[in-house]
């Protein structure tokens, strides 16, 4: 018997039949004796329609009115799901963000949660009532509805789990868990039973788009145990079901490398022949930061004749803007030319165990060299080693590394 | 310069183009210097879809969850209309029932408004902001969303007009005003410039379905001046536009007869040969009231040999139930037989002026006799004379009366 939060995304509640299926899954947990809160998204397609209407009326619409319109998607789902639950004999009631309330800041459209009043929810859950909660929304300081931005329902679910002191937050998705790498590239990728918050953050930010990054950060801060599992899987729930995202202390046998992630949305920029003097890097990255260009990996070549090259990576979508910003600042920075390459992929090996193991990077470089893959940029952190390679080597590199670290399924 | 409330129904906001047209009409009032609050319904079709979903999941759904789902229709409209207004330079913000708040009782699905907090609305209207208010909804005593029942947006608009002390409540509909009778039957029917609340109630309840009865009652109680006008009419607003529904004191030249109404949804029931003793009528209408059958006109024949007949009218849909209820109570009532006739129409002449004029009924009976139309039942009230005739005479009778009272347009 435990208190759990279950979260279902838009695909899982896309029509009345799927809402009935979700209700039946919730009933299963109630019958196992659990106290249940459910967080749901809008029915798939609804939010897009509502957003399209707002944009058609005004490209620069008032974000407060946008939130008023868009929040109706989740409101519809919670009402319908509560009805579906009652119909199969499960006591339930719906909750909108303003009713709980889930208080947020005033950043309409991209609000951040400040607090959730959990006492009434807990009292009712203890009395056997399922709380069906609208994700993605809250109440701003001006008593108006706010939304958390796309994908915010994951974050809502984790925040609710913290507020009701749930033992676990189950995120139902269209995959059955977190894998050692993308199974479309490596068919022998293995589903992980447990992954540490820090690992999940690295895996999420570099390509495994299962959980919203903010939701993982929140789970880590609030120590909420998150489980990722499939909303379409049949059969009983077992300890093998899904993947648990937890504190690394809960992971007894820490893998040196847990997974291989990749991101194709990268571009490489090299600023050639700049003066090798103190403050030159600051001048480049200062102008980029001022224009909201996020820079990821950075390397600086050894200096020759007082001149050096600086190479860095950015999101590919930012490439034209980056070039323009740098050209504009050329008089103050002083450089010979800018070289850019949009055809690059970042590949990362991730694992909390690598903190205490040497040789992780060496294995990586050897494995890539064996396949004659040239490494363009390298960066490392405590639990990650990333390299930039030409995009055409993506699959080859991911497969080689997956084997090199012994991650292939038997 | 005045403070006004404008109300637009679902057809008027059915798509983005119509929402833009409504915004532009509101802008016109703002530019004339008026302080404006707007009450809107859901986009046509939306409410039906939401209701259908609730019913598909559970025929006996929780009315509280039904309200949660259905109230989203108006929430979408207010957000979109506020965006459309801002886009054309009109300061506006949306209001949901719980934000104002519009407090109601707890009768989910058919709630009655208890109070509206108007001070903040007035303050903002005075500062030039248009208040765009969701009709049809409020906040129940349990902090949950309630709805007022179908057509409730008219009532919302009148209640808001009372709360903000508006000079007038303009109800935009698909007709351009209230007519002396149904123009489909009498092409020479005239649009009325003014009609008294009491007349409107009689006209509404007997067939002119322009305004919801509850909204007229509320307007009468709160002395809110209501104007019915077309949402599709072009050109400037003049004193001739629409029909004003007002206190009869505002109507200087009171017509003896303002209009001719009819209702085809009637059925006649005659209970034959019952004992003519005290309490016999009570026994018949008692059992009908207990089973929620509404009885309208009632006549009792003169007694012969201690026996009498009682004839009354009911809504046609109630006919099978009425027959069953009476047969069930036959032992205690005691009667020979029940005769029923579903092919009858009630025709009413209405006018506040008839209070002070004799001869209204006489004119009616003469006009009908001239066309050889038999009157089956007669009932009268202070401002109305109604007769029941065979349904096939409906058009003939309405036309004859419209001419007899001099209502035909020149």
Give the model confidence (pLDDT) of B69-127 as tens digits. 999 999 999 999 999 999 999 999 999 999 999 999 999 999 999 999 999 999 999 99
Locate the chain B residue with the closest alpha carbon to A132. Answer: B65
Q: Are B72 and A76 an interchain contact pair (Cβ–Cβ within 8 Å)?
A: yes
Work out the average pLDDT over B126-152. Answer: 93
Locate the chain B residue with the closest alpha carbon to A82. Answer: B65
Among the listed ranges A102-111, A130-139, B228-237, which one has the minimum average pLDDT value?
B228-237
Q: Per the domain annotation, does B408 fall within a domain?
A: no
Q: Are A62 and B83 an interchain contact pair (Cβ–Cβ within 8 Å)?
A: yes
pTM of the model: 0.85
Residue A264 neighbours by CB distance under 10 Å? 12
Predicted local distance difference test score (pLDDT) of residue B186: 93
Kindly report the average pLDDT of chain A as a whole number: 92
d(CA A48, CA A70): 9
The complex scores an ipTM of: 0.83
Q: What is the pLDDT of residues B182-237, one digit of tens each?
A: 888 999 999 999 999 999 988 866 555 688 888 999 999 999 999 999 988 777 77
Are residues A132 and A62 part of one domain? yes
Are residues A296 and A187 part of one domain? no
Burial of residue A291 (CB within 10 Å: 0-12, 13-18, 19+) is middle
Number of structural domains in chain B: 1
Q: Per the domain annotation, does B284 fall within a domain?
A: no
Q: Measuring CA to CA, how many Å separate A360 from each of A7, A181, A384, A403? A: 36, 17, 9, 13
The structure tokens listed for A88 are 């199969």
Q: B281-315 burial, b for 16+ CB within 10 Å, e for fewer?
A: eeebeebbeeeebebbbeeeeeeeeeebbbbbbbb
Work out the average pLDDT over A267-290. Answer: 90
CATH, residue B57:
3.40.1160.10
Which helix (H) or strand (E) segment holds residue A76: the answer is helix A72-87
Q: How confident is the model at residue A208 (pLDDT cuts 50, 70, 90)?
A: low
**Whether the predicted pLDDT of A238 surpasses 90:** no
Q: Measuring CA to CA, how many Å separate A358 from each of A197, A253, A261, A361, B243? A: 22, 17, 20, 8, 87
Are residues A158 and A17 part of one domain? yes
The structure tokens listed for B272 are 């034959």
d(CA A410, CA A228): 23
Q: Per the domain annotation, does B186 fall within a domain?
A: yes
Are residues A193 and A317 part of one domain? no
Half-sphere exposure of B382 (CA within 13 A, CB side): 6
Are residues A286 and A209 part of one domain? no
**Whether the predicted pLDDT of A215 surpasses 70:** yes
DSSP character string of A90-123: --EEEE-TTTTTEEE-S-TTS--EEEE--HHHHH
* Structural domain span for residue A274: 260-404
- Using CB atoms, pick whichever of A79, A144, A145 lies closest to residue B69: A79
d(CA A268, CA A313): 5
- Using CB atoms, pick whichever of A56, A68, A76 lies closest to residue B50: A76
Are residues A370 and A327 part of one domain? yes
Q: Per the domain annotation, does B208 fall within a domain?
A: yes
Residues of B with CB under 8 A from a CB of A: 16, 19-20, 50, 53-54, 56-58, 61-62, 64-69, 71-72, 75-76, 78-80, 82-84, 86-87, 93-94, 96, 98-99, 143-145
Q: A241-250 burial, b for 16+ CB within 10 Å, e for fewer?
A: bbbbbbebee
- Using CB atoms, pick whichever of A54, A72, A94 lies closest to residue B75: A72
Q: Are A84 and B58 an interchain contact pair (Cβ–Cβ within 8 Å)?
A: yes
Nearest residue to A314 (alpha-carbon basis) of A336, A346, A286: A346
Are residues A290 and A192 part of one domain? no
Which residues on adjacent β-strands are paired with residue A37? A5, A131
Question: Cα angle at A116 between A222 and A250, to 5 degrees?
Answer: 20
Predicted local distance difference test score (pLDDT) of residue B150: 65
Q: Per the domain annotation, does B398 fall within a domain?
A: no
Locate the chain B residue with the closest alpha carbon to A94. Answer: B65
Q: Is A366 left (phi over 0), alpha (psi -120 to 50) or beta?
A: alpha
Locate the chain B residue with the closest alpha carbon to A54. Answer: B80
Q: How confident is the model at residue A151 (pLDDT cuts 50, 70, 90)?
A: low
Higher-confidence position of A299 and B75: B75
- Using CB atoms, pick whichever of A57, A68, A79 lies closest to residue B87: A57
Work out the average pLDDT over B359-364. Answer: 91
Backbone phi and psi for residue B227, each to the nearest 5 degrees, phi listed first: -120, 130
Q: Per the domain annotation, does A85 fall within a domain?
A: yes
Are residues A266 and A243 part of one domain? no
Q: Per the domain annotation, does A266 fall within a domain?
A: yes
Predicted local distance difference test score (pLDDT) of residue A358: 78
Are residues A378 and A332 part of one domain? yes
Minimal Cα–Cα distance from B96 to chain A, Å?
9
Q: How confident is the model at residue B273 (pLDDT cuts 50, 70, 90)?
A: very high
d(CA A98, CA A110): 16
Q: How confident is the model at residue B166 (pLDDT cuts 50, 70, 90)?
A: very high
Kindly report the average pLDDT of chain B as a whole number: 92
Residues of A with CB under 8 A from a CB of B: 16, 19-20, 50, 53-54, 56-58, 61-62, 64-69, 71-72, 75-76, 78-80, 82-84, 86-87, 93-94, 96, 98-99, 143-145
Minimal Cα–Cα distance from B92 to chain A, Å?
10
Which helix (H) or strand (E) segment holds residue B364: the answer is helix B360-370
Q: Are B65 and A99 an interchain contact pair (Cβ–Cβ within 8 Å)?
A: no
Are residues A318 and A189 part of one domain? no
Q: What is the pLDDT of residues A265-276, one digit of tens each?
A: 899 999 999 988
Work out the average pLDDT over B43-68. Answer: 95
Q: Per the domain annotation, does B391 fall within a domain?
A: no
Are residues A265 and A182 part of one domain? no
Residue A391 DSSP symbol: G
- Residues contacting A374, CB < 8 A, separation 6+: A389, A390
Predicted local distance difference test score (pLDDT) of residue A202: 87
DSSP character string of B9-48: -GGGGSSHHHHHHHHHHHHHHHHTT-EEEEEE-PPTTHHH
Q: Are A86 and B61 an interchain contact pair (Cβ–Cβ within 8 Å)?
A: yes
Are residues A241 and A286 part of one domain? no
């Amino acid at each position: 018997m435990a208190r759990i939060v279950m979260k279902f995304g838009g695909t899982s509640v896309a029509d009345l039949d799927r809402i009935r299926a979700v209700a039946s899954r919730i009933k299963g947990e109630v019958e196992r004796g659990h106290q249940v809160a459910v967080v749901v998204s809008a029915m798939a397609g609804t939010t897009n329609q509502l957003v399209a209407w707002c944009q058609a009326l005004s490209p620069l619409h008032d974000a407060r009115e946008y939130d008023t319109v868009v929040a109706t998607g989740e409101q519809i789902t919670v009402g319908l799901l509560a009805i579906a639950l009652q119909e199969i004999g499960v006591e339930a009631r719906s909750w909108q963000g303003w009713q709980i309330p889930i208080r947020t800041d005033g950043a309409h459209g991209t609000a951040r949660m400040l607090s959730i009043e959990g006492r009434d929810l807990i009292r009712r859950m203890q009395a056997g009532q399922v709380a069906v909660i609208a994700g993605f929304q809250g109440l701003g300081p001006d008593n108006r509805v706010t939304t958390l931005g796309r994908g915010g329902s994951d974050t809502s679910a984790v925040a609710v789990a913290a507020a009701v002191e749930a033992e676990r937050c189950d995120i139902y998705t269209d995959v059955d868990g977190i894998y050692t790498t993308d199974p479309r590239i490596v068919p022998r990728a293995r589903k992980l039973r447990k992954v540490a918050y820090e690992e999940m953050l690295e895996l999420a930010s570099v390509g495994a788009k299962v959980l919203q990054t903010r939701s993982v950060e929140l789970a880590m801060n609030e120590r909420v145990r998150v489980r990722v599992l499939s909303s379409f899987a049949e059969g009983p729930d077992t300890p093998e079901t899904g993947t648990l995202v937890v504190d690394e202390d809960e992971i007894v046998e820490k893998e040196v490398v847990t997974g291989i992630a990749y991101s194709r949305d990268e571009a490489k920029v090299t600023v050639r022949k700049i003066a090798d003097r103190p403050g030159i890097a600051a001048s480049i990255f200062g102008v980029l930061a001022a224009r909201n260009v996020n820079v990821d990996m950075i390397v600086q070549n050894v200096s020759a004749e007082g001149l050096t090259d600086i190479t860095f990576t950015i999101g590919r979508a930012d490439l034209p803007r980056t070039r323009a910003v740098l050209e504009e600042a050329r008089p103050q920075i002083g450089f010979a030319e800018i070289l850019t390459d949009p055809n690059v992929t970042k590949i990362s090996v991730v694992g909390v165990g690598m903190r205490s193991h040497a040789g992780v990077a060496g294995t990586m470089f050897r494995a890539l060299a064996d396949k004659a893959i040239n490494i363009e940029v390298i960066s490392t952190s405590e639990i990650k080693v990333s390299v930039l390679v030409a995009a055409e080597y993506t699959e080859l590199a991911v497969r080689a590394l997956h084997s090199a670290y012994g991650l292939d399924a038997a």
